[in-house]
Amino acid sequence: MQKRILLLYTGGTIGMKQDPVTLALKPFNFNQILEEVPELKKFGCEIDTYSFDPLIDSSDMQPEFWVRLAGMIQENYRRYDGFVVLHGTDTMSYTASALSFMFENLAKPVVLTGSQLPIGMLRTDGKENLISSIEIASSADANGNPVVPEVCIYFDAHLYRGNRTTKYNAENFRAFRSANFPVLADVGIHIKFNPNNILLPDSFSEPLRISTSLDTRVAVLKIFPGITREVVDAVLGMDGIRGVVLETFGSGNAPTAGWFVERVKNAVRKGLLVLNVTQCQAGKVDMDAYATGIALKNEGVISGYDSTFEAAVTKMFYVLGQTEDLVEAKRLLNSNLRGEITI
């Protein structure tokens, strides 16, 4: 039977054109994108399209948009075999991470893609990204089940688990990296899936559930040598926040100065959830490795393991939206919910 794919267009460089006056890139009509890719008609699957209005540069992305996007996928879940989301690269990793937490029992592919050069340009990377994403979203195994029932990002010949990615290059066609988790597929002459890395649902027939409650009362404290008490106070003492993502050095280390540890301790005491992620691009937090990490652990700081920053922030939104209970929130933050961390 022919596979059915829903192609959702949110905006981003892939569908932009240069404004002749300002020379800035601006979104253009979805039908024009489709005209740029006549190859789509050659697919052996049915492709329906939906364009968000207004289209956005993904730098304007907001959690409310994630809720709309997740809702669109849920509404159309039964009718399609897979979903391809065209999205700007700037915040694609945040969207992919957020969606991965918002979806429960996901049993169909949701592939996010975009491009570094608009699809109408001669050297565009958008065409290949789009065509391969559709092929991946419609791939089935011998039993007819989707090969990659995950929220993923396809970019420049690599398929990644979405919540493991970071945009790390603003110019290169290889814009994304998944430093702590291997790719789900390599794309060359053949699409080589790596089944051992792909998460499968407990059942392919259970309905999809989405959580639309995201609590954004989260702050970020990135430490650096020379950070002052005032900066730490300003972040940890902020009114109304429930969680802090603490970006630490190396394997989760922070200054051992009494004033710093004291402030973290007070923050945890007053009920803030403090999640420790490393500033390093690869590797994991291990708060037992150094005295500087042990001090944080003793004060109740939670390990972010090998989480990306994007996954840590969106996981906080999701977890805080799930529960008011500190113990339960801590338990969820400490758990591997959607393959986002290696424990």
Nearer to ligand ASP among residue 57 and residue 247 (C-beta): 57
Nearer to ligand ASP among residue 160 and residue 193 (C-beta): 160
Q: Given the rule CB under 6 A, which residues bind ligand ASP?
A: 11-13, 57-59, 88-90, 114, 116
Nearer to ligand ASP among residue 27 and residue 255 (C-beta): 27
| Alpha carbon 159 to chain centroid, angstroms | 13
Marked catalytic residue, from 10, 13, 248, 292: 13
- Shortest separation between residue 320's beta carbon and ligand ASP, angstroms: 26
Report the alpha-carbon distance of residue 255 to residue 257 in Å, rounded: 5
Strands (E), the chain: 4-9, 16-18, 25-27, 46-51, 82-86, 103-104, 110-113, 151-155, 158-161, 166-167, 176-177, 185-187, 191-193, 209-210, 218-222, 243-248, 273-278, 302-303
Nearer to ligand ASP among residue 178 and residue 278 (C-beta): 178
Concerning whether 323 is annotated as a catalytic residue, the answer is: no
Identify which of 80, 47, 52, 49 has the alpha carbon closest to the alpha carbon of residue 65. 52
- Shortest separation between residue 90's beta carbon and ligand ASP, angstroms: 3
| Residues 220 and 244 sit within 8 Å (Cβ to Cβ) | yes
Count of residues in the chain: 343
Query: What DSSP string runs through 244-261?
Result: EEEEEBTTTB----HHHH
Tell me the torsion sign for CA atoms 244, 338, 195, 5: negative
| Residues 136 and 5 sit within 8 Å (Cβ to Cβ) | no
Nearer to ligand ASP among residue 115 and residue 180 (C-beta): 115
Nearer to ligand ASP among residue 122 and residue 189 (C-beta): 122
Which residue is it, tokens 């429960």? 104
- Shortest separation between residue 86's beta carbon and ligand ASP, angstroms: 9
Kindly state the greatest CA–CA separation across the chain.
66
Q: Supply angle C-alpha 76, 80, 84, rounded to 5.
A: 90
User: In this chain, which residue has its C-beta nearest to ligand ASP?
Assistant: 88
| Residues 313 and 243 sit within 8 Å (Cβ to Cβ) | no
- Shortest separation between residue 116's beta carbon and ligand ASP, angstroms: 6
- Shortest separation between residue 62's beta carbon and ligand ASP, angstroms: 13
Residue 5 sits at φ, ψ, to 5 deg, of -120, 135
- Shortest separation between residue 134's beta carbon and ligand ASP, angstroms: 18
Catalytic residues: 13
